[in-house]
Amino acid sequence: MTGPFTRIAVLGLGLVGGSLARVLAARGLDVVGHDVDPATVAAARAAGLDATGSLADAVAGADLVALAVPLRAMRATAAEVARCARGDFTLTDVGSVKGPVRQAVEAAGLGERFVGAHPMAGTEHSGFAASSPGLLDRAPWAVTVPGTGGTGGRGRADGPVGVVSPDRLERLLRLVTGPLRGTAAVLTDEVHDEAAALVSHVPHVLATQILNAVAGAPVREAALGLAAGSFRDGTRVAFTDPARTEAMVTENAAWVAPALRKAVRDLEALVAALETNAPVHGFFHAADQVRAQGRAGERTLVEAEPVALTGDWPAALAARCATGAVVTGLTDAEALLAR
């Protein structure tokens, strides 16, 4: 059994990074936050966090460094970590795209230390002021390992897993399922990025398009006056900082583009059917099986067969999680699963 992390540096104190630092500190862990914005550092200190504007000071003595900076700042930040950090630290992140982040950390010479992570939680707000300990409390996480198809490549869900440190992976899983009280789906970067495109990035694009359609309509003010629950729910994420959404979508373009092409084809077929009075039943009932399973977050997890922490267990875990299992905890000898 690997030991817990003793000091954690969170680089970037925005919505997710700030929330991560807050919840870890609330659970009694030794956490230091870093941000390039002096006002954010001051706000974090006022909230009771140990925070600094010096990356070198933040990573000094840390055995886990979490990259929580914007996606477009990952490469520069990873390079600075490589220059400043010392000792046998593990590197992780909280980004919503994994392939480009792994490329960035590999370019900095930190690939062998990296275990990717993505908490599946957020709001349309941004900045430290929007962060809270509750945002990531009991959240589902994706924890990622490299596939053998190459970083950022189009790997299969059942494809082989590349080189990963079992000890680093185990320690991160213990953090997620322990102090963070979450669950973890261990996936290759490629599987994560394809899945995230479907359940996060494409919905952001479609929500933005709905908002754009209303913004450009001649009846905009009347429409906004009539807007109720369906419009609110359908456009919530479109009120996210558009620069953040743009970066997320473009960084995962290899998976977002084909998913959007399918959406466009389906919508064009629906338009053609409506214009010709053809049946549209198939469009509205294609997801009946998903509806029967219930909404995300409302399903009850059922215990599944565990995976022994022996042999090539990271690959075994990734194979199970690619079919819907999640890690709920770890004993000395096993990863406990549910689905």
How high is the pLDDT of residue 153?
44
DSSP class of residue 307 equals E
d(CA 186, CA 116): 10
What confidence score (pLDDT) does residue 217 get? 97
Q: Say how far apart CA 27 and CA 134 lie, in whole Å.
A: 12
CA 251 – CA 285 distance, rounded (Å): 32
Q: Tell me if residue 48 falls in helix, strand or coil.
A: coil
| Predicted pLDDT of residue 163 | 85
CA distance 93 to 98: 9
In the three-class reduction of DSSP (H, G, I as helix; E, B as strand; rest coil), residue 237 is classed as helix
User: For position 201, what pLDDT does the model report?
Assistant: 97
The pLDDT score that the predictor gives to residue 244 is 92
Which of 318, 319, 336 has its CA nearest to residue 328? Answer: 336
Please give the domain boundaries of the chain with CATH numbers for all domains: 8-189+299-338 (3.40.50.720), 194-293 (1.10.3660.10)
Please give the pLDDT value at position 116. Answer: 98
User: How many helices and strands in the chain, by DSSP H and E?
Assistant: 15, 11
pLDDT along the chain (339 residues), means of 10: 88 98 98 98 98 98 97 96 97 97 97 97 94 97 86 51 92 98 97 97 98 97 97 95 95 97 98 98 96 81 96 96 97 97
Question: What is the pTM for the complete model shown?
Answer: 0.93
Q: What is the pLDDT of residue 169?
A: 98
Return the structure tokens found at 155: 């790997």
Phi, psi of 57 (to 5 degrees): -65, -35
Q: Report phi then psi at 214, rounded to 5.
A: -70, -40
Q: What is the dihedral of CA 158, 120, 36, 46, to 10 degrees?
A: -150
DSSP assignment string, 88-114: S-EEEE--S--HHHHHHHHHTT-GGGB
DSSP code string of 12-50: --SHHHHHHHHHHHHTT--EEEE-S-HHHHHHHHHTT-E
- E-strand ranges in 225-296 read none
